[in-house]
Amino acid sequence: MPKRLQLRGKQLAELRDKIYARAQGCCDYCGIGVPNDGWHLHHRQLRSGSGPDTPENCIVTHPWCHNQIHAEPLSSMETGFIVSRYRTPHLAPIMIHNRMWMVTASQYGGRVSLWMPTDEPGSFYSFTPVRE
């Protein structure tokens, strides 16, 4: 199993600040505001599956919402809140606030961009960017 990118101390605090700012103070699961000192950092590709501490792999959740994600793994995989260890998190769409989103790679700032499914039949993972 590959060694995961694990941050500590100041680097982890900077990642948390970046993730919280990207979420604009809202839980990525339910969309309701969450205080800066009362949220969980959820790893879409689970830490137990070598999920890295990167912007594209991490989201903001309320503690209860975080528990829901882990309590319903199949549903969470369908909506992108859990990503298989065999996928790359920034290539896995995620359903945030009832829309499909993609979290771009760290080298592009780990932005969240709205992507909508294309009309092209076949692949669930064919998406067209709507905005950056």
- Residue 64 pLDDT exceeds 90: yes
Q: What is the pLDDT of residues 36-53, one digit of tens each?
A: 899 999 999 988 887 888
First to last CA, the chain: 34
Q: CA 90 to CA 87: how far, in whole Å?
A: 9
pLDDT, tens digit, 9 for 90 and up, residues 114-129: 445 444 444 444 444 4
Proportion of the chain above pLDDT 70, given as a percent: 67
User: Which amino acid would we find at residue 19?
Assistant: I
DSSP letters, 14-44, are HHHHHHHHHTTTB-TTT--B--TTS-EEEES
